[in-house]
Amino acid sequence: MVAKRKKKYSVGEGAQFMTRKAALKKLQLSLNDFRRLCILKGIYPREPRNRKRAQKGHTGIKTLYHVKDIQFLMHEPLIHNLRDTKVFNKKVARAKAVKDKTKLHQYLENHPTMPLDNIVKERYPTFIDALKDLDDCLTLCFLFSTFPSLAHVPRDQSALCRRLTMEFLHCIIETKALRKVFVSIKGYYYQAEIKGETITWIVPHQFAFEPQHKAEVDFKIMSTFVEFYTFLLGFVNYKLYHDFNLFYPPKFNNMVQNQNDQALVDEAAFLSERVLALNFPISKSNDVFEEDVNIDDFVSEGDSEEKIAEAKKEAERIRKLKTLFKGLKFFLNREVPREPLVFAIRCFGGEVSWDKTLFVGSTFDENDESITHQIVDRPSMPNQFISRYYIQPQWIFDSINARDLLPVNKYFMGEILPPHLSPFNDPERDQQYIPPEERALYDPTLLEQQHKKDQEAINKGDDEVEEDEAKEVDEDAKEVTTKSKLSVTKGEVYKEVPWEKSRQEKQEYRLREKMVKKKHKKLYKSMMEGKEKRAKEIWLLRKKRRLHDEKQAGEKTIKEGKSVQKKKY
């Protein structure tokens, strides 16, 4: 009996993938509803190995989805909610058209809702899974919290993002989970450690909103993402607050309104303003539970003593970092950004306040003599207190990244600030220029060595330094030749010739290059070109740094000379 011939594209990649048009026909949804459903369920287009087979012989590039993903969507209850919303919109449009206000009011009161609780639980079975995927959630929610009411961004959504993000920041403050901070053009980069998971997010600068053209940014798709992320962040906040014995939503202990506050705002607005201020400890039944973890209890047999010692050192550094600003009182001037500084200072045990006429939540006045640091961002101030330091905001962030209180003399008013370096780089990265200040973040002794080398290069010049190194090599070679002519009867210490060793290594390297296969030669050539390009970039950056240091040293000598002349006169 002859076997039945299989139809073309009935098996393999032809049967595993489906175009977007076929998926819309199968689910009986519009394109907007399909996009919204895919975003909420976390389903994205797939890239096949062979696009021609996956498209059943059709040429061009089409959006493809896996057949199993579309079958998974067919049993989703949200499809019925989307259809109900579509029917609701038609009824409202008809009631508006015929000006039937009674029916319109009735429809709006019975607006269909779309619960996403089951989707959050489905996509994140455990709480750790939700923490791992919290980076994009926080970044987008912080972005939307700065938006005004737009065409596709409702005012309620922006207000909800603002409330949820502030609740998350309060939880970070109470648990002292912040580890790194970096200020860039995009905004403030924060990194926190919660339950062993590292979470990194960006908070944009508080600038005036500039409307974007519709062709540049699709706010409707972003708003759909935020719709899901608000549910996720709400669940995460609730879980974190209860795990750390905190009340949810945040409340305050011993908070008493005065008559002026009662005259200004009502009670709900008063409490919400206090939450946004980030300057009060939120109430809790007990103190935040912080368990002193003994690293010896988690040591496995394969761990070496060096790893255990390093883990203990890191735990001690983090314990010290949590109380970095303990006992210090900061006062913020009106020109500095309030929210990031309050968040950073309070995460490490410091006290902070500002002018009470600017914003709600100040705890002490500028005349308080117990203030240790005043954060300013102006060249000078007429009235100054001798009992405090007047420093620029960068000192806060650099001290956090260095995990120690840095000297304040480089951050005084009017001083040229040192470079603000990113703490997120790998200290052992290769083929990249690493400034000496950045190396000092990981090893302070390297900074002194680099300064000595730079000073020698400035005094002698690069050519003289190279000549000195060449002379040292020649002297070593001469010593070897003179010793070889002597007759020695006893044992002799063998000394390797430096240039001979380097010559042998180069010869071995060339032999290894010849062993590269023909099919890999182009790849190897492009890799070597990239390596040379990176080396050239490193050389140029070092040269720029050396010229910059020379210029600064010259300006410093000129200033010192002028000051000496003034003293003489």
pLDDT, average across residues 389-405: 92
**Is residue 90 domain-resident?**
no
**Is residue 329 domain-resident?**
yes
Is the model's pLDDT at 465 over the cut of 50?
Answer: no
Backbone angles phi, psi at 531, to 5 degrees: -65, -45
227 plus 345 within the same structural domain: no
User: pLDDT for 502-513, tens place per residue?
Assistant: 888 888 888 888
167 plus 255 within the same structural domain: yes
Tell which of 411, 437, 452 closes a domain. Answer: 411
Output the pLDDT for position 429.
Answer: 62
- Position 296 confidence tier, pLDDT thresholds 50, 70, 90: low
133 plus 64 within the same structural domain: no
Question: pLDDT over 70 for what percent of the chain?
Answer: 80
CATH number, domain containing residue 330: 3.40.50.10190
pLDDT, average across residues 540-545: 89
Tell which of 385, 411, 437 closes a domain. Answer: 411
DSSP secondary structure code for residue 433 in this structure: -
Output the pLDDT for position 203.
Answer: 94
User: pLDDT for 265-285, tens place per residue?
Assistant: 455 665 567 667 788 887 554
CA 178 to chain centre: 12
**Is residue 511 domain-resident?**
no
123 plus 266 within the same structural domain: yes
Is the model's pLDDT at 479 over the cut of 60?
Answer: no
132 plus 230 within the same structural domain: yes
Tell which of 411, 434, 463 closes a domain. Answer: 411
Domain count, the chain: 3
Q: Of residues 474 and 550, which shows the higher confidence score? A: 550
389 plus 340 within the same structural domain: yes
Pairing of strands 329-332, 64-66: unpaired
User: pLDDT for 529-539, tens place per residue?
Assistant: 988 898 898 88
- Position 8 confidence tier, pLDDT thresholds 50, 70, 90: confident
- Residue 73: which residues within 8 A CB-CB, separation 6 or more? 27, 37, 38, 41, 43, 79
Query: What is the pTM (predicted TM-score) of this model?
Result: 0.76
21: nearest Cα among 8, 219, 56: 56
**Is residue 19 domain-resident?**
yes
Output the pLDDT for position 453.
Answer: 61
Neighbours of 244 (CB within 10 A): 18
- Position 288 confidence tier, pLDDT thresholds 50, 70, 90: very low
Lowest mean pLDDT among 7-16, 71-80, 289-298, 443-452: 289-298
Output the pLDDT for position 350.
Answer: 92
Own/partner pairs for 355-362, CB < 8 Å, 24+ apart? 358/334, 359/277, 360/261, 360/270, 360/273, 360/274, 360/277, 361/273, 361/274, 361/276, 361/277, 361/278, 361/279, 361/280, 362/279
394 plus 245 within the same structural domain: no
pLDDT, average across residues 115-124: 91
Question: pLDDT over 90 for what percent of the chain?
Answer: 35
User: pLDDT for 208-254, tens place per residue?
Assistant: 777 666 667 788 889 999 999 999 999 999 999 999 888 888 876 54
H runs (alpha helix) in 42-191:
51-54, 67-74, 78-98, 101-109, 117-123, 127-132, 134-144, 155-175
pLDDT, average across residues 352-377: 89
**Is residue 108 domain-resident?**
no
223 plus 349 within the same structural domain: no
**Is residue 23 domain-resident?**
yes
Is the model's pLDDT at 484 over the cut of 60?
Answer: no
148 plus 251 within the same structural domain: yes
156 plus 38 within the same structural domain: no
Q: How far apart are CA 503 and CA 134, in angstroms?
A: 53
172 plus 227 within the same structural domain: yes
Q: How far apart are CA 446 and CA 254, in angstroms?
A: 50
Check: CB of residue 337 under 8 Å from CB of residue 296. no
CA 17 to chain centre: 36
- Residue 253: which residues within 8 A CB-CB, separation 6 or more? 281, 283
Residue 17 is part of which domain span?
A: 13-76
Tally DSSP H helices, then E strands, for the chain. Answer: 22, 9
Output the pLDDT for position 480.
Answer: 42
123 plus 272 within the same structural domain: yes
Is the model's pLDDT at 315 over the cut of 70?
Answer: yes
**Is residue 298 domain-resident?**
no
**Is residue 380 domain-resident?**
yes
